[in-house]
Amino acid sequence: MRPLRIGPSRVPSRAGADGAVHQLRARGYDACEIDFGKGFWMSWRFAERLGVLAREERLALSIHAPMAAFLGHPEVDGPKHHRAIGMLDHAAGIAAACGAAPVVLHPGFLLGRSRAEALDAVIEQLAALRARLERSGRAVPFGVEVMGRARDLGTLDDVLAICRALPWVRPVLDFAHLHAVTGGGFVTVDAFAEVLAAADDAMGTRAPFHIHFYDVVHTGGNERAHVPYGEGTLRAEPWPRRWRGSSGRPRWSSSRPTRRPTRRSAACSPARSPRRPRRRRPAPRARARAGAPAARASRTGARPRR
């Protein structure tokens, strides 16, 4: 039975790989998704060291590519397409250096096309990217994430269609997004089991599931905001205690969380952690002498001179 690996949606320390792995283990995690959603920050040396330590500590690593690194652009020769290809190439290089899999990306948008036309564009551009990565020794597994938009590209069926066409692409099951597009429908064991069975059938390999799990606020079949676990209506309790794929091999096992997570959690690797709101400093008081104009507080918070 494969274990259910759980980890945070970002590397807990950017100061060094040793500190990051130490913090992951100290918090009881055995997986981590490297957070490149807002851009690349990791050096090659950091990636190589992280890979060595992850193998020693048996940590499962994955990567979330930058948000702009989606494929299926209508203009193949356009700047957005070239930029996305460059970012995905670099993400694959980091993945190869540290042993991370999969590289998670978003499927893109309809952009006025039919669903079939948009899916064909995504599949064609991913296939071209694969050929480029094979030439450079960076042909790592990719994962396409199920999105939280009810009327755009990225439904479960869309993602499974891409994975059936490209065996090296895995479905990334974002249950918060699925919970949103079904209007809060993931509250029973059957709802989870049906999605897992469909993904298992589409993959056709012994690769593990890659799951994003956190809480979400949704309206009208679309996600509004990602929130910490416990603030929405998605819960881990309905997850199947034991999951076997259609081939009979063990693919899923889970247990109820022992504590209430303060951040999003994920099986195998999680999604991005929500931002905490910044605390505003109280404005310093300005004293004024009788008959004199009121003094203004400086932006640094220093007291005004009298």
Query: Which candidate, 213, 214, 244, 252, places its Cα nearest to that of 231?
Result: 214
Q: Top-level CATH class of 6-267?
A: alpha beta
Q: What is the mean pLDDT of the chain?
A: 81
pLDDT digits (tens, 9 = 90+) for 207-225: 788 999 888 999 888 888 9
Tally of CB atoms within 10 A around 66: 19
Percent of the chain with pLDDT over 90: 60
pLDDT digits (tens, 9 = 90+) for 154-165: 999 999 999 999
Query: Which candidate, 95, 92, 79, places its Cα nearest to that of 126?
Result: 92
pLDDT digits (tens, 9 = 90+) for 237-251: 887 665 544 444 333
Q: How far apart are CA 97 and CA 268, in angstroms?
A: 19
pLDDT digits (tens, 9 = 90+) for 54-102: 999 999 999 999 999 999 999 998 999 999 999 999 999 999 999 999 9
pLDDT digits (tens, 9 = 90+) for 169-191: 999 999 999 999 999 999 888 99
pLDDT range class, residue 257, cuts 50, 70, 90 = very low
Backbone angles phi, psi at 91, to 5 degrees: -60, -40
Task: Between 234 and 246, name the one with better pLDDT.
Answer: 234
- 80: tokens are 């957005």
pLDDT at 230: 87
Cα 106 off chain centre by:
9
Q: Where are the domains of the chain?
A: 6-267
pLDDT at 130: 97
